[in-house]
Amino acid sequence: MKISLVKEELITKVKTDLLVVGVQSKKIAKDPLVAKLNSATRGVLLRCIKDEEFTGKKGQTLAVLAQGSISAKYLLLVGLWSDKKESAESVSRWLGVFAGREAQKHASIALVAPSQKDDVLRSIAEGITTGAYRYTRYFTGSRKPKQRLRKATIVVQQEPTKAAQKTVDDGARVGTLVNLARDLVNCPANHLSPADLAEIAAEECKKAGISCKIYNKNAIEKLGMPLLLAVNQGSSREPRFVHMVYKPITTDKTTPRVVFVGKGLTFDSGGLCLKPPTSMLDMKEDMSGAAVTLGIVLAAAHLKLPVEVHGLIAATDNSIGPDAYRPGDVLPSRNGKFVEVINTDAEGRMVLADALTYAGELKPTYMVDHATLTGSCEVALGSYTCGLFCNNDQLARLYLQASKETGESYWRLPLASDLKDQLKSAIADLKHTGSRYGGAITAALFLQEFVGNRRWVHLDIAGPAFLERQHGTMPKGGTGFGVITGVRFLESVASTAKKDAE
């Protein structure tokens, strides 16, 4: 799908199947665009607004059949006003998402841009692309969608420039990478093994012109990742460790280096500490951190960001087999610490521990990990908010500011040192779980043991990575949560580095 910019001062003359207009004011009748459209429809629009009790509140939509009064076949009003202060970027993405969702019923849409600022245009393009997303791989016959969006237009008041069109193209590309992450998360485990995930990463990196090294089981053994290998012991499918690298064309000692680490559990049965059947059903999504990591690295390459970006994926199943690791086992780790296993269903922190040690050896400016790590985090924050843990206040501010711009929800939780005692083991350097109280915090404290003195942020995406129902801008199923914020974070890192250099 190509998203184009077009100048059209008279929105009533835009020829399209669906014309989308955002309403940002409580006083709908005084909105200039609504007033123009109401005049063109001879008062029908305001009557529909009244009859349908459309207030313009964020998330409300109103679809109206144009009946020849304007050049578009249908008109869609999208409510955008909110009592909460939001960035223009976040509001614009919201508008684009709702337009994209409605566009699933049409071959062409046109959306009136609130402004021609770059962040607005890019966010709209991201929104349209992600809003139009549907996972249809396993639909056939009448279940297979018969309509798909072929043409999207963003209507602006001034003549669009080549630079503005590139901004739109960038937004569409980032949106496509969010959708790639969603596809991976939605793919069932029988069609996405650790080897499959690694191969897809390699293929996508090749297309993007960046390097990707894949380590099989033998190579992982030589690399020295015993915790990752322990989790894999019960599976008939080999693990993989993936190292992707994007480097800007020009680099020097001042170029920031950011390493992203993604948890890649392609299926989690809980191991010998078996999950209940209902909890196991959606465990294909336990590799969401890996999918997000891939999306961010590819986006950095596409946008040609002046930041060196590494993406690490630790991929395995957590299954039951004759060699499965057990509660009570004591295992070495890559950084030399011995770990006493308490619960085999807390496997994510095991594979991340070795991956974070490896990440620290790359001497990064910042380390970031994404993981569907704990149910405790979802209990604390709900299904739509990511728990953010960080050992550096400046880094935390950068990430939280990026999330405010994108509209994705993050909340900082403490690395409460007084809970560290829960990880003390009588027979090893540390236990890998604590009590059920503060479980998300003790999981983060365990990971911190493998970070060293690196500036690091841990993102527990257990809630927003996969949803049972559509919410806000996020679809049902895999959401790709974290890709857009990760990209904005990298852009802020690049901007900060540039200012420091000056």
Decide if 349 is catalytic.
yes
CA distances from 336 to 6, 209, 352 (A): 60, 35, 15
Q: Are 199 and 294 in contact (CB under 8 A)?
A: no
Q: Which of the following is catalytic: 73, 134, 275, 412? A: 275
- Give the residue carrying structure tokens 């802020």: 492
Q: Which of the following is catalytic: 349, 431, 455, 488? A: 349
Give alpha helix (H) positions in 6-109.
32-40, 44-51, 88-103
DSSP 327: T
DSSP string, 406-433: HT-EEEE----GGGGGGG--SSSSEES-
DSSP string, 71-86: SSSEEEEEE-B-SS--
* The token pair that represents 446 in the structure block: 């365990």
Distance CA 338, CA 356 (A): 16
- CA 6 to chain CA centroid, Å, is 30
DSSP string, 222-233: HHT-HHHHHHHT
How many C-beta atoms surround the C-beta of residue 42 within 10 A? Answer: 9
Decide if 275 is catalytic.
yes
- Give the residue carrying structure tokens 């012109």: 209
CA distances from 197 to 241, 310, 421 (A): 10, 17, 37
Distance CA 232, CA 433 (A): 19
- The torsion region of residue 472 among left (phi > 0), alpha (psi -120 to 50) and beta comes to left
- CA 100 to chain CA centroid, Å, is 18
* The token pair that represents 332 in the structure block: 């070495």
Can you give the C-alpha Rg of the chain in angstroms? 24
Q: Are 214 and 242 in contact (CB under 8 A)?
A: yes
* 258: helix, strand or coil: strand
CA distances from 270 to 26, 79, 192, 454 (A): 50, 43, 18, 31
* The token pair that represents 360 in the structure block: 């620290």
Which residues carry out catalysis? 275, 349
